[in-house]
Amino acid sequence: MWQPFREEHEQFRATVRRFVEKELTPFAEEWEESGCFPDEVFRRAGELGILGAHFPEEHGGSGGDYWFSVAKSEEFPRARSAGVGMGLLVQSDMATPVISDLGTPEQIEEFLKPALRGERIVSLGVSEPGAGSDVAGIRTVARKDGDDYLISGQKTFITNGSRASFITLLAKTNPEAGAHGCSFFLVPTDTKGFSVSKKLKKIGNKSSDTAELFLDSVRIPRRYLLGEENMGFMYLMQNFQTERLIAATTAVAGSQLALDEAIQYGRDRSAFGKPILKREVWQHRLVDLQIKIEAARAFCYRTVDRYNHERYVNKEPLSMETVKLISMAKVLVGEMNSEVMDECLQFHGGWGYIEDYNIARAWRDARLLRIGGGTTETMRYYIAKLMGL
């Protein structure tokens, strides 16, 4: 039987699980109430090598392959607070891979290495009030001014945005060129003209801070341009694949955790004279959920295997087939995850609607997967194009 995880992956998984269960889970309720978790969590994850396990050693990582990131993502749902996992995954899998791919040695030293150590918190600045899944519609502009760039615009839905020390930010450098006129920049948040206009109140993932950002002629040196000018959209499309894939593997693990807890609840809870787990109607519904989880996990693992082979073994750009599979994985898992959480909440009856039970929070948090990183509708649009439809 094919087993993607080797002994070193499982040792790393054990490290992540200890960290989650001892240093995150006990504080889930507190951090949900406060709407944030401490900055120290980033530093602690960095000390344990959790943030950089799948980055090259010369970039401050451990030199592992992508399966290390998958192992990590499968343990984060045990924190019982999806916002914590979201904040850490933005740090390790969404805002930093593009720096590793494109960064100069100086950019690696100044930004990436301290981020992987958890010493500098980072956000990915792409979405705007008028441009979410349609990133080609962004209006933030970066114009040259001597040896600098002046950046003006707004960003919204930015995880870690209210406390990040820098933003990996997408802006238009050639507005007339549409999607092909975008560039990536590293923007320190202590630069004059940068401000957090407000923290956004969300229905889920409450322990992660999500902010709206404002840039008013923020001046940054030319050396903070990531990669080539006007190539940002191409870089983003590559970076999006990591974000979507890691979100899918995380959600599969979260679905399994919710189902396992529902089954235990069904053993302990009786109605009309016997445990509700013994009711055939619920047995069949729970079986169907397990089948769907297994199918989604198998699809994700197949996709991860292709992604890992292309990016980490061959060190080449992703094929369109792999991009298509990643988009399919996000659609498949997003819909499966919502169904599992909804059925498990229903299985708990009235207690499922009470936040003392983990399923209430998991149900609420799961809704984001069909929106963030590209809506399900946007994913289907991309898949249709890749299928030649």
Residues assigned a catalytic role: 243
In angstroms, rounded to a whole number, what is the distance separating the alpha carbons of residues 90 and 158?
10
In angstroms, rounded to a whole number, what is the distance separating the alpha carbons of residues 145 and 113?
29
Alpha helix (H) residue ranges in the chain: 7-19, 28-34, 40-47, 66-75, 82-89, 97-102, 105-107, 113-116, 232-268, 280-308, 320-347, 358-366, 376-386
Q: At what angle do helices 82-89 and 232-268 cross, to 10 degrees?
A: 160
Distances (CA, A) of 102 to 141, 224, 253, 327: 21, 11, 31, 23
Nearest to 332 by CA among 303, 359, 355, 361: 303
DSSP 30-96: HHHHHT---THHHHHHHHTT-SSTTS-GGGTS----HHHHHHHHHHGGGGS-HHHHHHHHIIIIISS
Q: Which value, in Å, is the radius of gyration of the alpha carbons in the chain?
A: 21
Q: Are 91 and 118 in contact (CB under 8 A)?
A: yes
Residue 172: strand, helix, or coil:
strand
Q: Are 131 and 58 in contact (CB under 8 A)?
A: no
In angstroms, rounded to a whole number, what is the distance separating the alpha carbons of residues 18 and 30?
19
Scanning the structure block, which residue is given the tokens 């100086």? 106
In angstroms, rounded to a whole number, what is the distance separating the alpha carbons of residues 295 and 161?
35
Structure token pair of residue 246: 């890691």
Scanning the structure block, which residue is given the tokens 């507005």? 175
